[in-house]
Amino acid sequence: MTTHLIIPDAHAHPDQSNRRFTWLGRLILDLKPDVVVHIGDHWDMASLSGHSSKMELEGKKYMADIEAGVEALDMIDWPTRRAKKKRPRKVFCMGNHEARIDRLVEQQPVLEGKVSDADLQLLDYGWEVNGFLTPVVVDGIVYSHYFVSGVMGKPIGGVHSARSLLSKQHMSTTQGHSHLLDYSLTNRADGRRIQGLVCGVFQDYRTTWNNNQSESQWWPGLVIKRNVENGVYDPQFVSIQALKKEYD
């Protein structure tokens, strides 16, 4: 049996504090998970946001976005690296915010070779990188930033999104993206238990682009999966408030 630590959408942003990543690094040192899965959108990449009136790819803004996320990666690693402890397997699912880089290059080919997802330095920090919407199975659980449904390929969501994941994927499934927390458990016809999870958001600041009503429904925190075996696990939900109380 193994332990998975799930990091939801973190949205590291140059105008916001990264302190929460120091708490995360200390948790990893104490918890000693076998696997850390980052569900994606570690970088906010506001400089490439389609919400802006124009693409703001100015060198300083782009690099500030990149550096905010790289600093956060270093803060996650620092406690384990300093203590010279064995590091867990680290799995990264590219999110739609990281995918903004590739989309920009597609739209503006002149930028090819000047910007790329190599700027994120994920491989340098030891992460196994899975492309945007490329599922990865770890110990019987399938992970992706989100999963799609229907001919239009829209993200699986709704009020009972975790249950929908199970009905569509037919195995234990975990996604992020919506910033909501939802969990569902059921048994297949063969008696095997499967568990669906939408894992929240690892963000402790207010956004400038979202309305307060929808943001109030977000769940900020982390998820620990204990006793993972063949897709079955015991979930533990750790809020950012609890993490801060323990490690700040």
- Residues 159-182 have pLDDT tens digits of 789 999 999 999 999 999 999 999
Of 106, 147, 75, 174, the C-alpha closest to 117 is 106
136's tokens:
């990865």
The alpha-carbon radius of gyration of the chain (Å, integer) is: 18
Q: Which domain holds residue 44?
A: 2-129+175-181+196-247
The H-or-E segment that residue 26 falls in is: helix 19-31
pTM as predicted: 0.92
By DSSP bridging, strand 89-93 and strand 154-155 are unpaired
The total number of structural domains in the chain stands at 1
110: burial class by Cβ within 10 Å (0-12, 13-18, 19+)? Answer: exposed
* Domain contains 111: yes
* Domain contains 108: yes
70's tokens:
């790289």
* Domain contains 189: no
* Domain contains 153: no
* Domain contains 38: yes
pLDDT score of 208: 62
* Domain contains 135: no
Listed in order, strand segments (DSSP E) in the chain are 2-7, 35-38, 89-93, 127-130, 136-138, 141-143, 148-149, 154-155, 173-175, 181-187, 193-199, 221-229, 232-239
Instruction: Give residue 123's pLDDT band: very low, low, confident or very high (50, 70, 90).
Output: very high
* Domain contains 78: yes
Lowest mean pLDDT across 15-24, 92-101, 106-115: 106-115
Instruction: Give residue 59's pLDDT band: very low, low, confident or very high (50, 70, 90).
Output: low
* Domain contains 166: no
The H-or-E segment that residue 22 falls in is: helix 19-31
Q: What is the CATH number of the domain that holds 222?
A: 3.60.21.40
CB 144 within 8 Å of CB 135: yes
Give the amino acid at 126.
G
Mean pLDDT for the chain overall: 91
